[in-house]
């Protein structure tokens, strides 16, 4: 036991310094005034009260609307893709999963600039439309451009957990359902989808958290005036220099994220008890 404690101690110290201490500082900044001056601080809840202003509530509403839309698209496309991959041999599945994850090897900034080249007024998409005789379409600095960027960036985070859950399903359960009179749709809905719910929930949680907290994609594809929660936090810390209000927004976002995770896990447990 003593030997185990000695081995774990460096990791505990590392976690405290890298994770716990920054979180405590953010919480401290959120309930104080004075910026990064920790000597003359005053405790207050005004930073949280500012969040009730309509302009900030609109930012949260827009962030959640786009985040949920991106999650829905990722879930629909990601489940179909993950389900399709399971029909191949294990070797081919590994290759296809590799192809799904390859975009994650490229920096998000570079991938976003690639979308700018495709979606801009003089980009590849509008050039192709003009060659086909159609009028060019304005796509940049719109919800459409931001959603395209979010979905392309987050889709692997939905595919991987769903594929893992689908691979764990015993195929004899499908045969048993068919023997009991279930058709293909009933077998998929009552067996395949139900047993893949853990992967679905994990994918939803990951894509939702990343979608509402990202700031690079909305900033570049949505334009400088396109403000989501991640951009608001970045703006408060870097441009405005209001660390206290930026920390308060971060704390609220973290609380919402914890509620979402707790709700998803509770739903997963209830589904497991029903089965």
Q: For residue range 97-111, what is the model confidence (pLDDT) as tens digits?
A: 999 988 888 888 888
The domain that holds 268 is classified in CATH as 1.10.3720.10
Q: What is the mean pLDDT of residues 89-95?
A: 89
Residue 45 maps to a domain? no
Residue-by-residue DSSP string for 56-78:
HHHHHHHHHHHHHHHHHHHHHHH
Residue 19 maps to a domain? no
What is the tens place of the pLDDT at every residue in 162-210?
999 988 887 787 777 777 777 778 888 888 888 888 889 889 988 988 8
Q: What is the mean pLDDT of the chain?
A: 84
Structural domain harbouring 181: 56-274
Task: Give the confidence band of 219 by pLDDT, cuts at 50, 70, 90.
Answer: confident
Residue 108 maps to a domain? yes
Poorest-confidence range of 66-80, 170-184, 248-262?
A: 170-184
Percentage with pLDDT > 70 across the chain: 91
Q: What is the mean pLDDT of residues 207-223?
A: 86
- Highest mean pLDDT, choosing among 37-51, 122-136, 173-187: 122-136
Task: Give the confidence band of 159 by pLDDT, cuts at 50, 70, 90.
Answer: very high
Residue 230 maps to a domain? yes
16-25 CB burial, b ≥16 within 10 A, e <16 = eeeeeeeeee
Record the tokens describing residue 86, joined without a space.
């399971």
Residue 82 maps to a domain? yes
Poorest-confidence range of 3-7, 71-75, 158-162?
A: 3-7
pLDDT value for 155: 92
Residue 18 maps to a domain? no
186-200 CB burial, b ≥16 within 10 A, e <16 = ebbeebbeebbbbbb
CA 147 vs CA 47, 61, 100, 213: distances in Å: 30, 15, 19, 14
* Residue labelled with tokens 């086909």: 132
Question: Looking at the predicted structure, is the pLDDT value of residue 274 above 70?
Answer: no
Residue 16 maps to a domain? no
Question: Looking at the predicted structure, is the pLDDT value of residue 81 above 90?
Answer: yes
Number of domain units in the chain: 1
Question: Looking at the predicted structure, is the pLDDT value of residue 271 above 60?
Answer: no
What is the tens place of the pLDDT at every residue in 26-36?
888 888 887 66
Task: Give the confidence band of 37 by pLDDT, cuts at 50, 70, 90.
Answer: low
pTM of the model: 0.83
Residue 155 maps to a domain? yes
């Amino acid at each position: 036991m003593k030997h185990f404690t000695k081995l774990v101690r460096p990791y505990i110290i590392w976690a405290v310094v890298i994770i716990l201490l920054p979180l405590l500082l953010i919480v401290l900044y959120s309930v104080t005034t004075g910026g990064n001056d920790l000597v003359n601080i005053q405790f207050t809840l005004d930073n949280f009260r500012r969040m009730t202003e309509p302009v900030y509530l609109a930012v949260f509403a827009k962030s959640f609307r786009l985040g949920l839309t991106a999650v829905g698209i990722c879930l629909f496309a990601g489940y179909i893709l993950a389900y399709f991959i399971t029909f191949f041999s294990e070797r081919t599945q590994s290759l296809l999963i590799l192809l799904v994850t390859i975009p994650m090897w490229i920096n998000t900034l570079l991938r976003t600039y690639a979308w700018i080249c495709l979606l801009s007024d003089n980009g590849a998409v509008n050039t192709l439309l003009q060659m086909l005789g159609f009028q060019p379409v304005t796509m940049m600095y719109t919800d459409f451009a931001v959603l395209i960027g979010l979905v392309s960036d987050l889709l692997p985070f939905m595919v991987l957990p769903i594929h893992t859950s689908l691979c764990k399903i015993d195929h004899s359960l499908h045969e048993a359902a068919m023997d009991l009179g279930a058709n293909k749709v009933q077998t998929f809905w009552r067996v395949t989808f139900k047993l893949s719910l853990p992967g679905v929930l994990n994918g939803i949680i990951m894509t939702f958290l990343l979608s509402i907290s990202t700031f690079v994609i909305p900033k570049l594809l949505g334009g400088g005036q396109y403000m989501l929660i991640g951009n608001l936090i970045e703006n408060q810390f870097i441009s405005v220099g209001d660390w206290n209000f930026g920390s308060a927004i971060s704390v609220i976002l973290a609380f919402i994220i914890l509620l979402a995770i707790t709700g998803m896990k509770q739903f997963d447990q209830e589904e497991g008890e029903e089965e």
